[in-house]
Structure 1
Amino acid sequence: MIDTTPAVQAFRSSILHCVRDPGEQDDTAVEYLEDGLLLVSGGRVEAIGPADELLKNLPDSISVQDYRGKLIVPGFIDTHVHYPQTDMIASYGSQLLEWLNNYTFPTERQFSDAAHAADTADFFISELLRNGTTSALVLGTVHTESVDAFFETARRRGLRMIAGKVLMDRNCPEYLRDTPETGYSDSKALIERWHGQARLQYAITPRFAPTSTERQLQLAGQLAAEHPDTFVHTHVAENVREVEWVAELFPKSRSYLDVYDQFNLLRDRSVLAHCIHLDTEDRKRLASSGAAMAFCPTSNLFLGSGLFDLSAAQSVGARVGLGTDVGAGTSFSMLQTLSEAYKVSQMAGQSLSPYRALYLATLGSARSLYIDEHVGNLAVNKEADFVLLDWQSTPLLSRRMQAAKTLKEKLFALFMLGDDRAVRKTFIQGQCAHDRDAG
Structure 2
Amino acid sequence: MYTLHTGHVVTPLTGVDDLLDLPGGGVVVDRSDGTVEAVGKASDLRKAYPDATVADHGDRLIVPGFVDCHVHYPQLGMIASPGEELLDWLDRYTFPAEARFADEAWAQTRARLFTDQLIAHGVTTACVFSTVHKGSADALFRAAHDRNLRIITGKTCMDRNAPDELLDTPDSAVADSLDLLERWHGVGRLEYAVSPRFAPTSSDAQLRALGELAAAHPDVVIQTHLAENLGECRWVAELFPDAADYTDVYDAAGLVRRRAVFGHAVHLSDRETGRLAEAHASLAHCPTSNSFLGSGLFPLHDTAFAGGDDLRIGLGSDVGAGTSLSPLTTAGEAYKVSRLLGSPLSVAELLRLSTLGGAEALGVADSVGSLEVGKDADLVVLDPASSPVLEQRAEQCTTTAELLFALMILGDDRAVSAVAVAGDTVDRAA
Is 1:56 the equivalent of 2:47? yes
The aligned counterpart of 1:136 is 126
Secondary structure class of the residue paired with 1:171: coil
**Which amino acid in the other structure matches residue 384 of structure 2?**
W
CA distance, structure 2, for counterparts of residue 55 and residue 306 of structure 1: 50
CA distance, structure 2, for counterparts of residue 57 and residue 374 of structure 1: 24
Matched-pair contact (CA < 8 Å) for 1:313–1:320? no
Q: CA deviation at 1:56?
A: 2.0
Deviations 1:332-385 (A, max 9, x none): 101011111111111111111011000000000000000000000011010001
The aligned counterpart of 2:281 is 291
The aligned counterpart of 1:331 is 324
Q: CA deviation at 1:20?
A: 3.9
**Which amino acid in the other structure matches residue 377 of structure 1?**
S
**Which amino acid in the other structure matches residue 406 of structure 1?**
T
The aligned counterpart of 1:12 is 6
Secondary structure class of the residue paired with 2:332: helix
Structure 1 residue ranges without an equivalent (≥5): 1-6
The aligned counterpart of 1:3 is none
Secondary structure class of the residue paired with 1:383: coil
Q: CA deviation at 1:63?
A: 2.8
Is 1:158 the equivalent of 2:168? no
Q: CA deviation at 1:132?
A: 0.4
Q: CA deviation at 1:288?
A: 1.3
CA distance, structure 1, for counterparts of residue 303 and residue 167 of structure 2: 34
Matched residue pairs, number? 425
The aligned counterpart of 2:264 is 274
CA distance, structure 2, for counterparts of residue 402 and residue 433 of structure 1: 28
Matched-pair contact (CA < 8 Å) for 1:21–1:359? no
The aligned counterpart of 1:4 is none
Deviations 1:169-206 (A, max 9, x none): 00001110000111111111111111111110000000
CA distance, structure 2, for counterparts of residue 155 and residue 35 of structure 1: 34
Matched-pair contact (CA < 8 Å) for 1:20–1:30? no
Is 1:101 the equivalent of 2:94? no
CA distance, structure 2, for counterparts of residue 170 and residue 146 of structure 1: 20
Q: 1:80-99 maps to which residues of 2 (within 5 A)?
A: 80-99=70-89
RMSD value, Cα: 1.1
Matched-pair contact (CA < 8 Å) for 1:9–1:39? yes
Deviations 1:58-109 (A, max 9, x none): 22x3231111111100000000000000110000111000000000001100
The aligned counterpart of 1:44 is 35
Matched-pair contact (CA < 8 Å) for 1:78–1:135? yes
Q: CA deviation at 1:426?
A: 1.0
CA distance, structure 2, for counterparts of residue 20 and residue 263 of structure 1: 33
Secondary structure class of the residue paired with 1:181: helix
Q: 1:213-224 maps to which residues of 2 (within 5 A)?
A: 213-224=203-214
Equivalent of 1:78, from 64, 68, 71? Answer: 68
Secondary structure class of the residue paired with 1:304: coil
Equivalent of 2:301, from 311, 314, 322? Answer: 311
The aligned counterpart of 1:263 is 253
Equivalent of 1:200, from 190, 198, 214? Answer: 190
Equivalent of 2:411, from 418, 431, 434? Answer: 418
Secondary structure class of the residue paired with 1:344: helix
Equivalent of 1:248, from 231, 238, 257? Answer: 238
Q: CA deviation at 1:21?
A: 6.7
CA distance, structure 1, for counterparts of residue 246 and residue 53 of structure 2: 56
Secondary structure class of the residue paired with 2:351: helix
So what's the TM-score if we normalise by structure 2?
A: 0.97
Secondary structure class of the residue paired with 1:32: strand
Structure 2 residue ranges without an equivalent (≥5): none
Q: CA deviation at 1:409?
A: 1.0
CA distance, structure 2, for counterparts of residue 407 and residue 126 of structure 1: 29
Is 1:359 the equivalent of 2:349? no
Matched-pair contact (CA < 8 Å) for 1:237–1:274? yes
Secondary structure class of the residue paired with 1:234: strand
CA distance, structure 1, for counterparts of residue 413 and residue 149 of structure 2: 19
Identity of counterpart residues, as a percentage?
Answer: 49
Deviations 1:14-38 (A, max 9, x none): 100001476xxx5xx2111100121
Given the superposition, is the C-alpha separation of residues 85 and 435 from structure 1 closer, same or farther in structure 2, using an over 3 Å criterion? closer
Moved >6 Å (runs of 4+): none
Matched-pair contact (CA < 8 Å) for 1:427–1:434? no
CA distance, structure 1, for counterparts of residue 331 and residue 24 of structure 2: 26
**Which amino acid in the other structure matches residue 284 of structure 1?**
G
Q: CA deviation at 1:434?
A: 2.6
